[in-house]
Chains A and B, each alone.
Chain A
Amino acid sequence: MLNFILRRLATIPISILIVTAVTFFILRLTGDPVELYLDITRTPEQEALLRQELGLDQPLIVQYLQFLADIVRLDFGRSLQFQAPAIDIVVQRLGATFQLIGAALVIALVVGLVGGLVSARYKDRTADMVISSLAVAGQSMPSFWLGILLVQLFALNLGWLPTSGTGGWQHLVLPSVTLAAFIAPNLVLITRTSVLEITDELYVTTARSKGLPRLRILLRHILPNALNPIISFFGLQVGRLVGGSVVTETIFAWPGIGRLMIGAIYQRDVPVVVASVIIVALAIIIANLLVDLILSVVDPRIRLD
């Protein structure tokens, strides 16, 4: 186990290297940084001076290595909008995003597992038809649109919940439900399929022959065996949740890293963009590592070493 964790941790720099390379070269392709720092009244002399200061007169590969060296020291430069170190600004916003994604994960997990289990238990009956249809509809509906509908209904018409911003738990409800809607419908369908597949296994017949009640068979013998594809799906969806959080944070003016990133891109605040991309990439990699660890705990046949 420890061996596996160490090996996986060792691959993180490689993944980060790839992310940094892509980020660096795309940034360079989108325009000359000097134009961002100097306004229209600039003189060629000022330009040349700045180029020298920023190291932009060096060959591209040297610039990239310098860029890497800065990242290793977690020095992403100063934000152009906020006049503060970019990394500090990103870290400040992380909490809000974790809160949102965490709440969305819990909602998606509860809805997905309960919906999938009920649907599988009552296969081809009314409950299954209703749940499956809702899941397919949810899958087909753009989640940002759902978010806007939720605001219309619960915030504007009924006035139960705030439209946007932060504060108490009431502020978290609509954004986290919207974000959960990015993955919950898929989760319902995957849980249903996986549970139905396991139901046909011989050891489930063994459990029935032992005279156990249906609920116990479902929760103790079927569900733990059905979890593998469900957890793997989660690992694959972490990136989607982060992407979804960008949209959701924008709709609900949630002060997280997603909204920060969008703002930084509009403002061409390169240090903040780079810092957020790297931090998000790191979070996704760690989340996937956690998924592998959870899988090995749930299924003793999976040996990590």
Chain B
Amino acid sequence: MADPRPLLEVRDLSVSFRSGGRDLRAVEGIDFSLGAGEVMGLVGESGSGKSATAMALLRLLPDAATIGGQILFEGEDLAQVPEKRLNEIRGRDIAMIFQEPMSSLNPVMSIGAQIMEPMRFHLGLSARDARLRAIELLERVRIPAAERRLKNYPHELSGGLRQRVMIAMALSCKPKLLLADEPTTALDVTVQAQILDLLYELKEETGLSIIIITHDLGVVANFADNVAVMYCGRIAETGPVSAFFDRPGHPYTKALIESIPDDDTSGRLATIPGTVPKLTELPPGCRFAPRCAHSRPACSDILADLYQLEPDHRAACIMPFDYRIPDQ
């Protein structure tokens, strides 16, 4: 029988940074769960806390950050496990790829050595076996002349190739979960599509679960099963992709969807007025209220929790569109 537990269950995750003598909450109250083979899109503008959330899952944040809540990976709380145990999980069960393929590979180490490193360390492969498997992996992520490439250094590869190397490295120990932090943002549009296709294929082949962090709703629509939108460190809305795009509940979500460029080039593209407030200048009540076209006085008083709209579909708004909030 299949394990009824989700692969990853995050409960009330928070991240604070100690800065200038006080704690700034970059992320708070994050709840979500992810099943095996599922893809979740974590969406938000810069500074919404989406990258901090992903980094927190593997405790990769700098020492100045503190993490609260639970990160249950196969029932084990990653927020609490000792570093030694965490290092067994990092790279083997959970791997990560980053936004900047240009700077996320070690410039003075050949890419072959970098890909082989986790396999030698986690799987105990001999240098020879690790090398063979590295060639296989490079072929799998469609890098031509794989064997020759092993000797290359990162600066000898294009951005797209480097991201493929990162993916090959991340998949080397057959992880169960891949955290992809804006994996295509720094790449050309055509290369973006190739990388996403590649990730999709690998997911289909291996049953990998993926959390993809992006500010691009198009990526989410094509790629993810579920989505969570973050705003100012909190989840604004979360649910299955179809419900999310067809029946958004939160005004922020709706505004985001409306600001996606479509084929109709006649009218003006919808935008959201204002900018994301700084962590030090958060408004009272709902953090989106000052920019919200539908806000009412009550919005500045209440910092809404996530209300259930439909099964698995929740939004943090006191007046979600088309939905009636049951009396609390």
Contact = CB atoms under 8 A, between A and B. Distances in A.
B107 A225 contact: yes
Contact of A212 (B60, B91, B96, B105): B91
Nearest to A223: B108
Interface residues of B, number: 29
B109 A211 contact: no
A301 interface: yes
Interface string B87-98: 111111001101
A220 B109 contact: yes
Interface string A294-305: 000011110000
Interface of B: 55, 58, 60, 86-92, 95-96, 98, 100, 103-109, 117-118, 121-122, 153, 155, 166, 169
A220 B60 CA distance: 18
Interface residues of A, number: 21
A214 to B, nearest CB: 8
Given A202-B98, A224-B108, A300-B155, A209 B103 contact: no
B106 A207 contact: yes
Contacts of B121: 210-212, 216
B108 A225 contact: yes
A299 B155 CA distance: 11
A199 to B, nearest CB: 9
A209 B177 CA distance: 12
Contacts of B96: 206, 209
Interface string A167-210: 00000000000000000000000000000000001110111111
A10 B121 CA distance: 47
A211 B108 CA distance: 19
A300 B153 contact: yes
Contacts of A224: 106, 108-109
A208 B83 CA distance: 11
A202 B103 contact: yes
Given A209-B60, A210-B169, A301-B153, A203 B106 contact: yes
A128 to B, nearest CB: 14
A208 B96 CA distance: 10
Given A208-B58, A209-B95, 11 more contacts: A206-B98, A207-B106, A210-B169, A211-B90, A211-B118, A212-B118, A216-B121, A220-B109, A221-B109, A224-B109, A301-B107
